[in-house]
């Protein structure tokens, strides 16, 4: 168990394997988001790079299939990892998620491959 909540980046396929199909990307994002509750229930803070990158793209009228996306999606995850304590790598082919794992390893961050590997945070008493 750990006393401090960890900021855990959930990494996995988003655009990979979708052929830029918006419904397939939405399904991938929903799959990433399905891991958010178990991370939170373990006492930690889940974060997904697309939660930040997609609004950044939208603010300039772009989306995940726009050429600008390559300048936003992966760099957002890289910047975010400077603040994260760990990565949860979900299954599936993904160049971006593999980059996240490589960055985490370079920074000495743990990479979990299953939610069960994430240390549970010690229960805190209500203040």
Domains and CATH numbers, the chain: 7-117 (3.40.50.10400)
- Residues 68-124 have pLDDT tens digits of 999 999 999 999 999 999 999 999 999 999 999 999 999 999 999 999 999 998 766
pLDDT digits (tens, 9 = 90+) for 108-124: 999 999 999 999 987 66
Which residues have CB under 8 Å from 17's CB, separation 6+?
24, 92, 93
pLDDT band at 1 (very low <50, low <70, confident <90, very high): low
Q: DSSP letter for 112, please.
A: E
Q: How far apart are the first and last CA of the chain?
A: 20
Q: Does residue 127 surpass a pLDDT of 50?
A: no
Cα–Cα distance for residue pair 42/40, rounded to 1 Å: 5
> Can you name the residues that pair with 87 across neighbouring β-strands?
9, 111
Q: What is the predicted pLDDT for the residue at 122? A: 72
- Please, are residues 16 and 95 in contact by the beta-carbon 8 Å criterion? yes
pLDDT digits (tens, 9 = 90+) for 31-58: 999 999 999 999 999 999 999 999 999 9
Helix (H) or strand (E) holding 72: none
Q: Are 51 and 79 in contact (CB under 8 A)?
A: no
């Amino acid at each position: 168990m750990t006393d401090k909540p960890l900021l855990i980046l959930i990494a996995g396929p988003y655009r990979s394997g979708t052929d830029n199909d918006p419904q397939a990307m939405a399904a991938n994002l929903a799959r990433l988001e399905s891991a958010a509750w178990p991370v939170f229930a373990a006492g930690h803070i889940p974060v997904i790079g697309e939660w930040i990158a997609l609004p950044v793209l939208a603010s300039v009228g772009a989306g995940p299939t726009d050429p600008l996306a390559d300048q936003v999606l992966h760099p957002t995850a890289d910047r975010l990892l400077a603040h994260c304590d760990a990565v949860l790598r979900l299954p599936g082919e993904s160049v971006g998620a593999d980059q996240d794992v490589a960055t985490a390893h370079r920074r000495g961050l743990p990479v979990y491959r299953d939610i069960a590997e994430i240390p549970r945070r010690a229960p805190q008493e209500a203040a």
